[in-house]
């Protein structure tokens, strides 16, 4: 049996990631909880995730490692999940004729605008990665955004078309499960494709070092084995940043 998914649609829920956490023990691997409206959608860094009800895809995909066709992933290799999910979204967008890049660790950008946010929440028990809740917010039909959302875009704004959420989700999941299957069979390919798609790679741009508060110019060189963002400063030194340590100035 290929990597199967089973979709449960909610009209309204606080957050599909919260619901997935609550139901985790009873959910099979491959279950997808999708919401037309989230009342407390969560983003990275403790931010909220705003989405106009019925306009966008907001869902969580539950993976249970070692169950079904989901292979075990070593806890120190868990970045491969980010790679797979980000590349699945990128490929879905590409099928719609939109070229997207991946802003490390897993935002999806079109040009300098964010089209999709991903919140991956993993559980490690006794040194083993047991489950992952991959929460995805993909802007589909929304054409105006609250002013406090930095540089947003949507698929409709990019293509001028209107999308059906249910059909789109099925197509997106096919791409996601294809990439997730590669976590075992072709992790090197995922890493390579991720690096190829990396937003701002090899270009000089401005960043903020959240530790020192300093603004600096740097060039993204790649991702270290421990999933740090490697940025070369003007003096030629390369430093690895964790997610909490660096901000992009866009």
Which of 65, 70, 63 shows the shortest CA–CA distance to 125? Answer: 65
Q: Interaction with ligand BTN in 149-168: which residues (CB under 6 A)?
A: none
**Region near ligand BTN per CB under 6 A, out of 2-10, 44-52, 72-80, 215-223:** 44-52
Q: How far apart are CB 38 and ligand BTN at their closest, in Å?
A: 6
Tell me: does residue 42 bind ligand BTN (CB under 6 A). Answer: yes
Q: Interaction with ligand BTN in 109-138: which residues (CB under 6 A)?
A: 117-119, 135-137
Q: How far apart are CB 30 and ligand BTN at their closest, in Å?
A: 17
Cα distance between residue 207 and residue 221, in whole Å: 14
Tell me: does residue 41 bind ligand BTN (CB under 6 A). Answer: yes
Which position among 80, 107, 109, 163 is part of the footprint of ligand BTN (CB under 6 A)? 107
Cα distance between residue 128 and residue 72, in whole Å: 8
How many residues line the site for ligand BTN (CB under 6 A)?
Answer: 20
Tell me: does residue 60 bind ligand BTN (CB under 6 A). Answer: yes
Of residues 71 and 152, the one with the C-beta less far from ligand BTN: 152
Of residues 85 and 177, the one with the C-beta less far from ligand BTN: 85
Of residues 80 and 108, the one with the C-beta less far from ligand BTN: 108
Q: How far apart are CB 232 and ligand BTN at their closest, in Å?
A: 26
**Cβ atoms < 10 Å from Cβ of 221:** 17
Residue nearest ligand BTN, CB atom distance: 117
Cα distance between residue 214 and residue 226, in whole Å: 24
Which position among 38, 55, 82, 158 is part of the footprint of ligand BTN (CB under 6 A)? 38
Give the binding site for ligand BTN (CB under 6 A). 15-17, 38, 41-44, 47, 49, 58-60, 107, 117-119, 135-137
């Amino acid at each position: 049996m290929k990597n199967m998914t089973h979709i449960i649609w909610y009209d309204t829920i606080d957050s599909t990631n919260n619901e997935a956490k609550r139901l985790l023990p009873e959910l099979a691997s491959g279950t997808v909880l999708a919401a037309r409206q989230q009342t407390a959608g969560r983003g990275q860094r403790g931010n909220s995730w705003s989405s106009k009800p019925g306009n966008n895809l907001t869902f969580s995909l539950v993976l249970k490692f070692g169950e079904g066709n989901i292979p075990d992933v070593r806890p120190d290799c868990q970045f491969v999940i980010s790679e797979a999910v980000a590349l699945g979204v990128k490929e879905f967008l590409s099928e719609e004729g939109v070229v997207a890049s991946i802003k490390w660790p897993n935002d999806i950008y079109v040009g300098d605008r964010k089209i999709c946010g991903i919140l991956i929440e993993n559980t490690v028990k006794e040194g083993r990665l047991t489950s992952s809740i991959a929460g995805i917010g993909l802007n589909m039909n929304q054409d105006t955004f609250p002013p406090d959302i930095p540089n947003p875009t949507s698929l409709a704004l990019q293509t001028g078309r209107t999308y059906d959420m249910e059909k789109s989700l099925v197509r997106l999941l096919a791409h996601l499960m294809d990439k997730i299957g590669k976590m075992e069979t072709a992790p090197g390919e995922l890493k390579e494709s991720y690096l190829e798609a990396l937003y701002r790679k090899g270009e000089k741009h401005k960043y903020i070092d959240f530790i020192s508060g300093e603004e600096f110019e740097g060039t993204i060189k790649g991702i270290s084995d421990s999933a740090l963002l490697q940025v070369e400063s003007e003096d030629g030194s390369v430093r690895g940043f964790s997610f909490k340590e660096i901000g992009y100035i866009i």
